[in-house]
């Protein structure tokens, strides 16, 4: 029931992924930024350690399409 962070980092650590900030609204949607997946995992681990809280807000990896990115066939 828990993500295997090491495996995910090994496979996708360098991929650039779209991340939305769920705590912010802009024009009726959440703003997105592009982050390296390894940075998102670092945030994710910290978010869990801090009782599901972060000064960065609640970030959500949104609309990442592995097959389109060429990372999987």
Assess if residue 44 is contained within a domain: yes
Query: According to the model, what pLDDT value does residue 47 have?
Result: 92
Q: Please state whether 23 falls in left (phi above 0), alpha (psi between -120 and 50) or beta.
A: alpha
Which residue range is the domain that position 39 belongs to? 5-61
Query: According to the model, what pLDDT value does residue 68 have?
Result: 59
Number of domains in the chain: 1
Assess if residue 73 is contained within a domain: no
The two tokens of residue 68 are: 């389109």
What three-state secondary structure class fits 13? coil
Where does the pLDDT of residue 40 fall: very low under 50, low under 70, confident under 90, or very high at 90 and above? very high
Assess if residue 67 is contained within a domain: no
Compute the distance between CA of residue 43 and CA of residue 59 in angstroms, rounded to an integer. 8
Assess if residue 72 is contained within a domain: no
For residues 54 and 66, the model is more confident at 54
Assess if residue 66 is contained within a domain: no
Where does the pLDDT of residue 62 fall: very low under 50, low under 70, confident under 90, or very high at 90 and above? confident
Assess if residue 68 is contained within a domain: no
Assess if residue 49 is contained within a domain: yes
- The total number of residues shown for the chain amounts to 73
Compute the distance between CA of residue 7 and CA of residue 13 in angstroms, rounded to an integer. 9
| Mean pLDDT across the chain | 86
pTM for this prediction? 0.78
């Amino acid at each position: 029931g828990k993500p295997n962070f090491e495996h995910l980092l090994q496979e996708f650590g360098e991929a650039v992924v779209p991340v939305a900030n769920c705590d912010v609204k802009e024009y009726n949607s959440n703003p997105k930024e592009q982050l390296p997946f390894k940075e998102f995992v670092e945030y994710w681990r910290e978010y869990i350690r801090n009782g599901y809280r972060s000064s960065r807000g609640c970030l959500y990896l949104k609309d990442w399409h592995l097959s389109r990115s060429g990372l999987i066939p």
